[in-house]
């Protein structure tokens, strides 16, 4: 198992690095930084006969606040696996046991205000009812997005007005329609086919001629 722990700590906000470092020492794992994945910010894999150690991966484009929250999310999977040894097949990936572990890991961050005030407030709300993924927690994701460096020209679908043209990270272009709960009715510009796109999807606004 090889982890550049110093490199991981360097990506964290200064105020929280000592706390997270203690967790990483208490629950050793291989932590790797990987290229961005559109469908997830990080993941956790338990030990197997072929790879007998815990593994965590984190996207390389996360800002320090999002990197910290995502790492704590994945460490909660690890601690759930350790605390409930022998019951793994009966545990839901983001069930009550994981929710309790994640909320417990967030408490020192919240109580000691180790992150910016708006992030702490969002984490306090998230701790009451943890979501399966940070990217599905609207309030938390939007707060964390404030700390993206320059934004990279991206925005969220829900920030656009109906009738706007936008491009996804895969290069497909859509015309934004009306909202349907958490998703929007969108028409692909080249095919005319209707799709449902999540309001939190990261896209690029395209100016109409």
**Are 51 and 14 in a shared domain?**
yes
3-state secondary structure 149-175: CCHHHCEEHHHCCCCCEEECCCCCEEE
pLDDT digits (tens, 9 = 90+) for 184-202: 999 999 999 999 998 888 8
Higher pLDDT, 130 or 159: 159
**Are 74 and 89 in a shared domain?**
yes
C-alpha to C-alpha distance for 85 and 104, rounded to whole angstroms: 18
pLDDT, residue 133, reads 60
pLDDT digits (tens, 9 = 90+) for 63-120: 999 999 999 999 999 999 999 877 766 788 788 899 999 999 999 999 999 999 999 9
Structurally, the chain folds into a number of domains equal to: 2
Whichever domain contains 171, its CATH number is 2.30.30
**Are 43 and 137 in a shared domain?**
yes
Question: Strand 42-45 to strand 55-59: parallel, antiparallel, or no bridges (unpaired)?
Answer: antiparallel
pLDDT digits (tens, 9 = 90+) for 173-184: 999 999 998 899
**Are 162 and 72 in a shared domain?**
no
Average pLDDT over every residue of 37-52: 91
- Residue that is last in its domain, among 108, 129, 149: 149
**Are 40 and 113 in a shared domain?**
yes
The β-bridge partners of 74 are none
Question: Does the predicted TM-score (pTM) go above 0.75?
Answer: yes
Cα 147 vs. chain centroid, distance in angstroms? 14
* Domain carrying residue 101: 5-149
pLDDT, residue 137, reads 76
Residues in the chain: 209
């Amino acid at each position: 198992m090889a982890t550049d722990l110093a490199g991981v700590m360097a990506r964290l906000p200064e105020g929280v690095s000592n706390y997270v470092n203690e967790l990483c020492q208490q629950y050793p794992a291989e932590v790797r930084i990987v290229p961005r994945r559109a469908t997830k910010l990080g993941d956790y894999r338990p030990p197997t006969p072929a790879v007998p150690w815990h593994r965590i991966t984190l996207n390389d484009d996360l800002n320090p606040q999002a990197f910290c929250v995502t790492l704590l999310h994945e460490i909660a999977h690890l601690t759930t696996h350790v605390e409930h040894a022998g019951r793994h097949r009966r545990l839901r990936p983001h069930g009550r046991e994981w929710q309790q572990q994640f909320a417990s890991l967030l408490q020192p961050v919240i109580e000691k205000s180790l992150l910016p005030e708006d992030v702490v407030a969002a984490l306090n709300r998230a701790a009451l009812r943890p979501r399966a993924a940070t990217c599905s927690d609207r309030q938390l994701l939007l707060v964390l997005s404030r700390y993206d460096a320059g934004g990279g020209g991206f925005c969220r679908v829900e920030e656009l007005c109906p009738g706007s043209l936008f491009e996804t990270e895969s290069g497909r272009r859509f015309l934004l329609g009306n909202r349907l709960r958490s998703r929007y009715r969108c028409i692909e510009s080249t095919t005319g086919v209707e799709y449902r796109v999540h309001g939190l999807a990261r896209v690029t606004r395209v100016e109409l001629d």
